[in-house]
């Protein structure tokens, strides 16, 4: 049997050795080895096995709110439900179930998109929906927006991937990416065969983003022969949670102008700001406020239905706005996305609903506001609680989660544990995270999956478990941590 | 103003000259220049402009049934509608609107996927849905299927793109692709920087697929230094509509074994067979029927919710089944799709609904069968009618559309028209198709967008306009064609 398998391996066209090596090189720790083991544990628990030291898996590895009990916004779901069933908007019993404004909205969309959710639409997304995104952007930024520059995509991930595919011609093309970063960037750069040029966020100053470090990074890259094409900024940060100040953002725009870089602004956490003294400002607003001298700076801004308080991850809805891009480059991007025909229409509708929610006077308004504020205030409480708890642990320090959905505590891994990890060929923080899973069922992502300064170790934990479960996460983590430290002391 | 624009152009990072040249190289005629012009006409008509020689656009360029009035399958939509609104399955008024079996199915899915459509799921797709696909495959083929080998994707396009990305390491890697072909293949191979190695389908024998021509193609490719990695077969054919015989398919499997090729079987039109003497057989069945000696042949089969009689294009639902693939290669493919987290959950649900429709005794069964048979028999009538009409035109010959959703008539473009096209720098059949649009509002795709033997010209027209509109398409095309032939005689 083993022998037969060996022969089969030998004869296969696709093996790990012969597959596109850029796929092998790419790493995506958010769904890596630890998650695979947690999946196996989940099946073990479901089968009735009682041998594990925990009775459930708590997934803190991924920003997936509705998998942890967050409820969807009712209005949005009513509209989707109405649109999906032909004739339902006019059914005599519909008003017994659906609110009047949801019915009206569904009728409006169906009047503009008579084929509903079942037909391919424009490759950039249905125009009526892109117009709603533009109205949102204009309200948000006080600057004009153009539907022709909006691309509705299958989540922000697809938009980021398209932009990186457009930017990277070969391994000489470099992209400036924060360290730590969300591994979509490193993985996509690897798959496209480009060069990731890392710039470090400064943990000591609350994950600050300094221009000197950007300059250091771009100079190093250029000295290594790289053609640096773009700067990725994640604001609020993932995994780090920091919110940039407007001053800082102006300096970043200036940097992009001086260095001729496309600014890729990952702004998917724009609704998720918890720090009292911080608020989200878009790069579009900052750039446009700086006046026409900066209309040469190409900005791609990404947003998603998966985050914020919408949390509709499974919908795969997102968009990018292209500011100051050349018409011919946009035409090429349009052709690129058209090869995939269009993004899924319900994801598009969810983008429109997110950017055009009920307003005062609408029947659904009060519930919408209550749901929005309930989710955001709870996330804030959880962020504060988790950070405080992590800071109580021996050798752990954790910056405040000013925004986004994560904490990123720095941990001290004892020397003996580092040795043990090295012996097993895994990163010390991956060793720690695996041990945490084995002991508690809690799934986090090791800092090495995001990048970190050499010799420092972290993990990323979402703030998403429901409030009652957060205490459990804290208690179990604290117990595990103390035992781990003792074991390897 | 012009000068300022020039300066802006010069300063942009991304222009047609500096963007990834593989994007510029890629062509996707299904949404190319003719479609862009038809979009402009559509806006012109919507604005009340009466100056055009037609009063509507008839989109025969794309297999998008519901945009042309095809109704969705009611059961499928009831289930989606129920799942989308939390609590609706238990609402006291729900039974007034939804059928009992739809409510039961929605409850079943929600019991297995408590987070519904709002959360990310497994990167291969929710297991409960992959299991339904497997049950369908086992019924269809009489051979075992394994959920671990099923990947639910955002349409079949995404699955094809992932597979080609895995196969193509550099420009030396070749993929055997039919000519004519669906341009997803040529575009994706171009974007991945691989080599398209064309093999010609034989128009004279009803677009037959001959092994000698495959051998000719692979030898030419190898003589040119290519490492040929895979064979793409589209069955039923797009744009050509032919259905392969089992004998032919066995020879193709043998060819893949002998030549060590991954067999990429695009089987998205498996429900769309109209020829009386033909029926669809999957490559999985043919391969497995050939016995264990062929368990070394790697087969990737693609299917979609967009075609068949489901026609749910906007849903972006699809799957691929990987047969005989190495575990380590599948692990790499899993990692690749995990970077994008998961395909949209409603697309996944639609795949499950398509593969597990109501059965005899279910409340929705009769309606489901009536809808299915109504759509398929109407498509068949339209296919026959359109082919017959094209064969009436001067200098036009058109093979029967045995399957799929298209006719692909061969046209004789008069010498003078070829000269005129050459003068304008467009392919003669693109010139013809643009003239057809300008005169009639009918949108077709020129054969040059799919590839064709040198010196031959074709266009692809879908069979999807509703039956009453088919006569209009025929009448308008005939009138235009006669005038075009006269003008350039």
Grade residue A9 by pLDDT with cuts at 50, 70 and 90: very low
State whether residue A61 sits within 8 Å of chain B by CB: no
Query: How far is A200 from B48, CA to CA, in rounded Å?
Result: 57
Structure tokens at B381: 């009538």
A101–chain B Cβ distance below 8 A for any pair = no
Q: Do A315 and B16 touch (CB under 8 A)?
A: no
Provide mean pLDDT across the span B157-175: 97
3-state secondary structure of B190: helix
Burial class, A367, CB count within 10 angstroms (exposed 0-12 / middle 13-18 / buried 19+): middle
pLDDT at B2: 44
Write down the number of H helices and E strands in chain A. 18, 13
Please state at what angle helix A345-355 crosses helix A74-84, rounded to 10 degrees: 140
Nearest by CB to B166, which of A19, A296, A329?
A19
CB distance from A6 to chain B under 8 Å?
no
Characterize the bridge pairing of strands A195-200 and A173-179.
parallel
Measured CA to CA, the distance from residue A452 to residue A410 in angstroms comes to 10
Nearest chain B residue to A168, by CA: B20
Helix (H, G, I), strand (E, B) or coil at A186: helix
Pairing of strands B195-200, B173-179: parallel
Which residue in B64, B117, B298 is closest to A14 by CB distance? B298
Which residue, among A8, A11, A16, A20, would best test binding to B if mutated, counting the most B CBs under 10 Å from its CB?
Answer: A20
When pLDDT is averaged across residues B420-445 and rounded to a whole number, the result is: 96
Q: Is the pLDDT of residue A197 over 90?
A: yes
A/B interface, count of CB pairs below 8 Å: 298
Handedness of CA A138, A141, A142, A147 (dihedral sign): negative
Please name the residue of chain B whose CA is at the shortest distance from the CA of residue A32: B335
- Predicted confidence at residue B31, as pLDDT, reads 74
Q: Between chains, do A336 and B93 touch, taking CB under 8 Å as contact?
A: no
DSSP bridge partners of B301: B265, B321
For the segment A243-251, the average pLDDT, to the nearest whole number, is: 96
Say what angle helices B467-487 and B365-391 make with each other, to 10 degrees: 20
Pick the closest to residue B354 from B402, B411, B303, B399 (CA basis): B303
Say which DSSP state B19 is in: S
Please report the pLDDT score of residue B468 as a whole number.
Answer: 86
- The C-alpha atoms of residue B290 and residue B310 are separated, in whole angstroms, by 31
Percent of chain A whose pLDDT exceeds 90: 93
* Residues 6+ away with beta carbon under 8 Å from A435: A480, A484
Q: What is the Cα–Cα distance from A237 to B179, expressed in whole angstroms?
A: 48
pTM for this one? Answer: 0.95
Average pLDDT over residues A353-368: 98
| pLDDT computed for residue A258 by the predictor | 96
- A115 chain-B contacts, CB cut-off 8 A: 66-67, 314
Contact A67 B342 (CB under 8 A): no
Query: A328, B64: Cβ pair inside 8 Å?
Result: no
Among the residues of B192-245, which ranges form H helices? Answer: 211-223
> CA angle at residue B297 from B277 to B235, to 5 degrees?
30
pLDDT of residue A36: 87
Whether residue B457 has pLDDT greater than 90: yes
Q: Is the pLDDT of residue A2 over 70?
A: no
Contacts of B154 in chain A (CB under 8 A): 154, 316, 340, 344
- Residue B460, chain A, CB below 8 Å: the answer is no
Query: B268 and chain A: CB distance < 8 Å anywhere?
Result: no
Q: Which residues of B touch A26 (CB under 8 A)?
A: 335-336, 339
pLDDT 10s digits, B134-159 = 999 999 999 999 999 999 999 999 99
Write out pLDDT tens, residues A152-172: 999 999 999 999 999 999 999
Of A26, A119, A331, the CB nearest to B313: A119
State what percent of residues in chain A have pLDDT above 70: 98
For an interface test with B, the pick among A14, A87, A152, A364 (most B C-beta atoms closer than 10 Å) comes out as A14
- For residues A278-288, average pLDDT: 97
What domains can be seen in chain A, in order of their start residue?
A: 32-61+372-488 (3.90.1150.10), 112-355 (3.40.640.10)
The pLDDT of residue B8 is: 47
Segment A13-39 shows an average pLDDT of: 90
Rg (CA), chain B: 24
Does B65 sit within 8 Å of A296, measured CB to CB? no
DSSP string, B24-65: HH---GGGSHHHHHHHHHHHHHHTT---SS-SS-EE-SS--G
Handedness of CA A395, A401, A406, A408 (dihedral sign): negative
Average pLDDT over residues A41-65: 93
Residue A211, min C-alpha distance to chain B (Å): 20
Position B102 scores a pLDDT of 98
Instruction: Supply the pLDDT for residue A6.
Output: 45
Question: Which residue from B267, B303, B309, B270 is spatially nearest to B76, judged by alpha carbons?
Answer: B309
Helices (H) and strands (E) in chain B, counts: 18, 13
Q: If residue A223 lies in a helix (H) or strand (E), which one and from where to where?
A: helix A211-223
Q: What H or E segment, with its residue span, contains residue B234?
A: strand B227-234
Task: Give me the pLDDT at residue B11, please.
Answer: 78
Per the CB < 8 Å rule, is B328 touching A15? yes
A74-84 helix and A365-392 helix, angle to the nearest 10 degrees: 120
Rounded Cα gap, residues B413 and B431, in angstroms: 10
**Chain A touched by B377 (CB under 8 Å):** no
For residue A335, the chain B residues in CB contact (below 8 A) are 23, 26, 28, 31
What residues does B257 pair with on adjacent strands? none
Instruction: Give me the pLDDT at residue B318, please.
Output: 98
Across the interface, whether the CB atoms of A13 and B229 are under 8 A apart is answered: yes
Residues 166-225 of chain B whose Cβ lies under 8 A from any Cβ of chain A: 166-169, 183-184, 187-188, 191
Contact A78 B93 (CB under 8 A): no
How many whole angstroms separate alpha carbon A136 and alpha carbon B479?
Answer: 48
Nearest Cα of chain B lies from the Cα of A316 at a distance, in angstroms, of 5
Residue A8: pLDDT band (50, 70, 90) is very low
Cβ pair A15:B314 closer than 8 A: no
- Tell whether B95 lies on the interface with A, counting CB pairs under 8 A: no
Asked if the Cβ–Cβ distance from B335 to A31 is below 8 Å, we say: yes
Residues 223-252 of A with CB under 8 A from B: 229-230
Residue A377 Cα, gap to closest chain B Cα (Å): 20
Structure-token pair, residue B147: 């959920």
Q: Determine, for residues A88 and B72 on separate chains, whether the beta-carbon distance falls below 8 Å.
A: no
Q: Determine, for residues B338 and A28 on separate chains, whether the beta-carbon distance falls below 8 Å.
A: yes
Which among A161, A163, A172 is positioned nearest to A196, based on CA atoms?
Answer: A172
User: Which of A61, A94, A117, A118 best tests the B interface by mutation, with the highest count of B CBs <10 A?
Assistant: A118
For residue A283, give the nearest of A310, A305, A250 by alpha carbon. A250
Quick check: bond before A180 cis, omega within 30? yes
| Distance, CA of B301 to CA of B304 (rounded, Å) | 10
Torsion angle defined by CA atoms of residues A75, A79, A82 and A87, in that order, rounded to the nearest 10 degrees: 130
Give the separation between CA B352 and CA B127, rounded to whole angstroms: 11
How far CA A282 is from CA of A71, A142, A287, A303, B351, in Å, comes to 27, 11, 9, 11, 38
Rounded Cα gap, residues B429 and B425, in angstroms: 12
Provide mean pLDDT across the span B460-476: 93
A169/B342 touch (CB, cutoff 8 Å), yes or no: no
Query: Does the distance separating the beta carbons of B169 and A20 come in below 8 Å?
Result: yes
User: By C-alpha distance, which of B16, B34, B21 is closest to B448?
Assistant: B34
Which pLDDT score is estimated for B5?
47
CB contact under 8 A, B97 and A78: no
- Quote the pLDDT of residue B34: 92
Task: Check CB contact of A67 with chain B, cutoff 8 Å.
Answer: yes
Q: How confident is the model at residue A31 (pLDDT cuts 50, 70, 90)?
A: confident
Q: List all residues 6 or more positions away from A147 whose beta carbon is below 8 Å from its beta carbon.
A: A127, A130, A131, A133, A134
**Could you read off the pLDDT of B267-288 as tens digits, one per residue?**
999 999 999 999 999 999 999 9
Nearest residue of B to residue A161, measured between CA atoms: B340
CA nearest B165 in A: which residue? A20
Distance, in Å, from the CA atom of A261 to the CA atom of A98, rounded to the nearest integer, reads 48
CB contact under 8 A, B20 and A296: no
ipTM, 2 decimals? 0.94
Q: Write the pLDDT tens digit of every residue in B233-252.
A: 999 999 999 999 999 999 99
Mutation target for B interface from A13, A75, A126, A164: give the one with most B CBs within 10 A: A13
DSSP conformational letter for A273: B
Give phi and psi for B395, each to the nearest 5.
70, 15
Contact B118 A311 (CB under 8 A): yes
Locate B172 and state its tokens: 């030396």
Q: Is the CB of A125 inside 8 Å of chain B's CB atoms?
A: no
Which segments of A236-351 are extended strands (E)?
262-266, 299-304, 317-323
Q: In the predicted model, is pLDDT for residue A54 greater than 80? A: yes
Reply yes or no on whether the pLDDT at B185 is more than 70.
yes
The nearest CA of chain A is from the CA of B96 a distance in Å of 7
Mean pLDDT score across all residues of chain B: 95
Chain B residue with the nearest C-alpha to that of A114: B67
Measure the CA–CA gap between A461 and A463, rounded to whole angstroms: 7
Nearest CA in chain B to A231: B13
Greatest Cα-to-Cα distance within chain A, rounded to the nearest angstrom: 72
Question: Among A63-72, A235-244, A317-326, B242-251, whose mean pLDDT is lowest?
Answer: A63-72
> A106 is written with which tokens?
């569904």
Judged against a pLDDT cut of 60, whether residue B7 lies above it is answered with no
Given a contact cutoff of 8 angstroms between Cβ atoms, the answer to whether B350 and A117 are in contact is: no
pLDDT, mean over chain A: 95
Q: What is the pLDDT of residues A89-130, one digit of tens each?
A: 999 999 999 999 999 999 999 999 999 999 999 999 999 999
Pull the structure tokens for residue A357: 């929610």
User: In angstroms, what separates the C-alpha of A480 from chain B's closest C-alpha?
Assistant: 28
C-alpha distances (whole Å) from A448 to each of A391, A417, A457, B157 are 20, 16, 7, 33
pLDDT reported for residue A7:
47
pLDDT of residue A30: 74
């Amino acid at each position: 049997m083993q022998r037969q398998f060996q022969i089969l391996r030998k004869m296969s066209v696709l093996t790990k050795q012969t597959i596109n090596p850029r796929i092998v090189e790419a790493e995506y720790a958010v769904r890596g080895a630890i998650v695979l083991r947690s999946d196996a544990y989940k099946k073990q628990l479901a089968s009735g096995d009682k041998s594990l030291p925990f009775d459930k898996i708590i997934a803190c590895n991924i920003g997936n709110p509705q998998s942890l009990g967050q409820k969807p916004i009712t209005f949005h779901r009513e509209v989707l439900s109405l649109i999906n069933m032909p004739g339902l908007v006019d059914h005599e019993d519909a008003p017994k179930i659906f609110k009047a404004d949801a019915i009206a909205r569904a009728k409006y969309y169906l009047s503009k998109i008579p084929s509903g959710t079942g037909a391919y639409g424009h490759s950039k997304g249905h125009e009526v929906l892109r117009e709603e995104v533009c109205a949102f952007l204009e309200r948000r930024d006080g600057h004009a927006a153009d539907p022709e520059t909006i691309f509705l995509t299958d989540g922000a991930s697809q938009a980021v991937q398209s932009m990186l595919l457009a930017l990277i011609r070969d391994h000489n093309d470099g992209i400036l990416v924060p360290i730590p970063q969300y591994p979509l960037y490193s993985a996509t750069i690897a798959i496209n065969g480009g060069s990731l040029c890392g710039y470090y966020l400064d943990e000591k100053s609350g994950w600050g983003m300094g221009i000197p470090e950007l300059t250091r990074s771009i100079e190093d890259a250029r000295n290594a022969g790289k053609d640096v094409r773009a700067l990725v900024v994640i604001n609020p940060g993932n995994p780090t949670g920091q919110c940039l100040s407007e001053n800082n953002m102006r300096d970043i725009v200036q940097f992009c102008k001086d260095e001729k870089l496309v600014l890729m602004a990952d702004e998917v956490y724009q609704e998720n700001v918890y720090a009292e003294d911080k608020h989200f400002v878009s790069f579009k607003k900052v750039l446009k406020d700086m006046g026409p001298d900066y209309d040469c700076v190409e900005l791609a801004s990404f947003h998603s239905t998966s985050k914020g308080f919408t949390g509709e991850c499974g919908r795969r809805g997102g968009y990018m706005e292209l500011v100051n891009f050349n018409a011919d480059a946009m035409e090429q991007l349009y052709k690129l996305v058209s090869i995939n025909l269009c993004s899924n229409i319900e994801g598009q509708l969810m983008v429109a609903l997110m950017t055009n929610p009920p307003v005062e006077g609408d029947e659904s308004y009060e519930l919408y506001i209550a749901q929005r504020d309930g989710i955001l205030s709870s996330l804030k409480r959880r962020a504060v609680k988790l950070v405080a708890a992590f800071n109580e642990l021996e050798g752990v320090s954790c910056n405040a989660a000013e925004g986004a959905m994560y904490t990123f505590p720095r941990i001290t891994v004892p020397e003996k544990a580092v040795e043990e990890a090295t012996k097993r060929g895994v990163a010390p923080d991956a060793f720690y995270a695996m041990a945490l899973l084995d002991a508690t069922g809690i799934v986090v992502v090791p800092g090495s999956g995001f990048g970190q300064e050499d010799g420092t170790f972290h993990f990323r934990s979402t703030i998403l478990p429901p409030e009652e479960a957060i205490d459990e996460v804290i208690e179990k983590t604290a117990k595990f941590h103390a035992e781990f430290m003792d074991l390897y002391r």
